[in-house]
Chains A and B, each alone.
Chain A
Amino acid sequence: MTDMLTVLAPDGATKKGFEAGLPDEELLHCYRTMLLVRSFDEICLKLQRSGRIGFSIPNLGIEATQVGAASALRKTDWIFPSYRDFGMALYHGIPAVEMMHNMFGNAEDSAKGRQMPVHFSFVEPIHFYSISSPIGTHLPHAVGAAHASKLRGEDTVHLVSFGDGGTSSLGFHSGMNFAAVWKSPVVFLCQNNGYAISCPSEQQTASDGYAVKAEAYGMPHATVDGNDLFAVRQAVLEAAERARRGEGPTLIEAVTFRMGGHSTSDDPTKYVPAELVEEWKQKDPVDRFRRFLERKGLMTPEENDAMRADTLAEIDRAAKAAEATAAPGLETIFSDVFAEVPSHIRKQGEFLFDLSQRRGEADAGDGEFPL
């Protein structure tokens, strides 16, 4: 494979001459965010297994890619995430409870309970673009948004994240091609986690990794160790700087591994060889960063335990608050289809309210159809 950028060894040592260039509290924030992601995963798995939420997506093993990339962005930049990017949102201060509202699909969910769990959408404190299930559709969106920023003379960078499977989509081709032709300020982040549900990379592409695909589009590229937060951060920082200078897009391939199932509905033991999981366990991105912090004297094992417990408590509070929040009202079925509710949709809503009152069973909501 092409040269892969690595800075941080599994034992926590960094390459000679490497300077993180980050203040201690920022290093600890990166680490705490990765622990938050782990705690989020753990609690969602329990919630799903006990039937309190329908579905979740595990992030185990991908935390350093998410947080390393997010740490290279400014609050004014935009993120076009995949559904496996919890760490990007958490790093930028999106409260865990806001994400939990989506997991429960309740009345406080920014998507009003319309989307499946893990399909987040936020505009504050950073643009974390509304997630769509169809794979690859968001790549051209990022390019268009970047083009708008560029036409207005802003130095905003647009990072778009997608999987190895995503590179086979139509959106990948159109997005890469347009961005390269227009020199759009986009960072394409391909998270190569080894699998697209059950399909391993050999079935996805015959090329030597994913980064090299950029060459055909006339775009620079980099391959980085996705379990090394510093390597990911460095590559994204460089790509973002190039984009801000008006030099156009970059494709970054972060080589990592999905340590869990595709989702809470998937059993990966049916198709992922156990040896492969064992091999990647040794490269665990969170352990690696913890060892780095310990070497630097920034963290003791006791402090680590306390931080872990603290993140679990934070996510648990978020889950409890979200679970206690009511379901969305019936009117949310009919609003936001258009800016104004057309009469045929209004009539359908009125019918549903009336029916619920006449025939019961469904909750009639607040009475009058309010739209």
Chain B
Amino acid sequence: MANLTLIQAVNDGLRTVMKADDSVVVFGEDVGPKGGVFLATEGLTADFGESRCFDTPLSEDGIIGTAIGMAMNGLRPVAEIQFQDFIFPAFDQIVSEAAKLRYRSGGQYTAPMVIRTPYGGGIRGGLYHSQSGEAYFAHTAGLKVVIPSTPHDAKGLLIASIQDPDPVLFMEPKALYRSVKGEVPEGEYTVDLSTLRTVRQGGDVTIYCYGAMVPVVERAAAQAAEQRGIDCLVVDLRTLMPLDEEGVLEAAKQTGRVVVVHEAPRFCGYGAEISALIAEHCIEYMEAPVRRVTGFDTPFPNTLEHHYLPDDRRVLDAIESVYDF
């Protein structure tokens, strides 16, 4: 076991699979000698050589398009998109190509590949270095969407994603890169790509969250317990696609009071899917309306980002409102 930050766990995960499997190649903008702008790929070119970890021209469309070609022809590409905000030139390649290749070729051609990308706020990055676009991608049939919130899960989910037979968008919460630390097993292990994680047990209110919102929710849950004696069941969804539907419904039934938290905008956000699932399948267990705590339906601001991002104040407000309903 080593005590690692989330970004060190990503680096460790990449190293682990690169050692075990020669077909794994890592590429993107500035991932080579510089080691990536956040240093996720630090040392990989030096340790594995330029044919295993390399820089590309500045084209996300090119990065993802070529990754698809490599994947269909025997490699296991792990492509980095420097910020999730810059993924959109590759939207066509992801949505029309990677995600549909298996289906349209009747399984003759497939794209087992991983797209790693840092997402979310917390670095005063303004409109274009802060976005959380998971809903665009979770909406796409044929694409898995994974978001870790702990170093342990970052490594285990990343290895599982690279070994998965389908394309996976692996979104890394940049706000947690260095702010969380935790025990990470050495060597290879995987975390299942369709099981949520129970972060905290409780019988009063269920809170669903993922990525950078997990520690925010944990703080709010601790305050709710301390200030009001409200016991929250906190669930880290981890894999948005495929979703652990059984686990989600089970958690809702346990309390009958639900809050969903994400930093992406609300309208057609991932929280809408969770709310709808609960409304469809266990409305009879509900004691209060579902509350969503999310980013606002505006672009992401810069100076006022702390007002935009859901914080423990906002989560606590929602917990109390469903509890007191």
Contacts and interface: CB of A to CB of B under 8 A. Distances in A.
Interface of A: 54-55, 105-106, 113-116, 119, 132-136, 165-166, 168-170, 196-199, 203-205, 265, 270-271, 327-328, 330, 332-334, 337, 344-345, 348-349, 352, 355-356, 358-359, 361-362
Interface string B288-316: 00000000111101111011100001101
A170 B127 contact: no
B30 interface: yes
A65 B120 CA distance: 35
A236 to B, nearest CB: 24
B30 A198 contact: yes
Contacts of A203: 55-57
B314 A166 contact: no
Contacts of B89: 134, 169-170
* Ranked 8 nearest A-B pairs via Cβ: A133-B128, A113-B303, A198-B34, A105-B303, A116-B126, A168-B57, A165-B58, A168-B58
Given A113-B303, A116-B124, A133-B126, 19 more contacts: A105-B302, A116-B125, A116-B128, A119-B126, A134-B88, A134-B128, A168-B57, A170-B59, A199-B32, A203-B55, A270-B33, A332-B301, A333-B298, A333-B304, A334-B298, A344-B267, A352-B307, A359-B317, A361-B313
A130 to B, nearest CB: 11
B59 A168 contact: yes
A114 B313 contact: no
Interface of B: 29-30, 32-34, 37, 55-59, 61-62, 85-86, 88-89, 124-129, 266-267, 296-299, 301-304, 306-308, 313-314, 316-317
A362 B307 contact: yes
B302 A169 contact: no
Contact of A114 (B86, B126, B306): B126
B58 to A, nearest CB: 4
Nearest to A362: B307
Chain B interface main SS type = loop
Contacts of B302: 105, 113-116
A359 to B, nearest CB: 5
Contact of A330 (B126, B307, B316): B307
Nearest to A359: B313
Contacts of B125: 116
B317 A355 contact: yes
Given A170-B61, A197-B34, A270-B33, A54 B304 contact: no
Contact of A115 (B88, B127, B298): B127
B36 to A, nearest CB: 9
Given A199-B30, A337-B299, A352-B296, A332 B58 contact: no
A82 to B, nearest CB: 13
Nearest to A205: B57
A270 B39 CA distance: 12
B58 A333 contact: no
Contacts of A133: 85-86, 126-129
A116 B198 CA distance: 36
Contact of B57 (A54, A204, A355, A362): A204
A166 B56 CA distance: 13
Contacts of B128: 116, 132-134
Contacts of B86: 133-135
Nearest to B62: A168
A345 B32 contact: no
A105 to B, nearest CB: 4
A115 B61 CA distance: 25
A334 B308 CA distance: 10
Contact of B34 (A106, A166, A270, A349): A270
Contact of B304 (A55, A113, A135, A136): A113
A364 B310 CA distance: 16
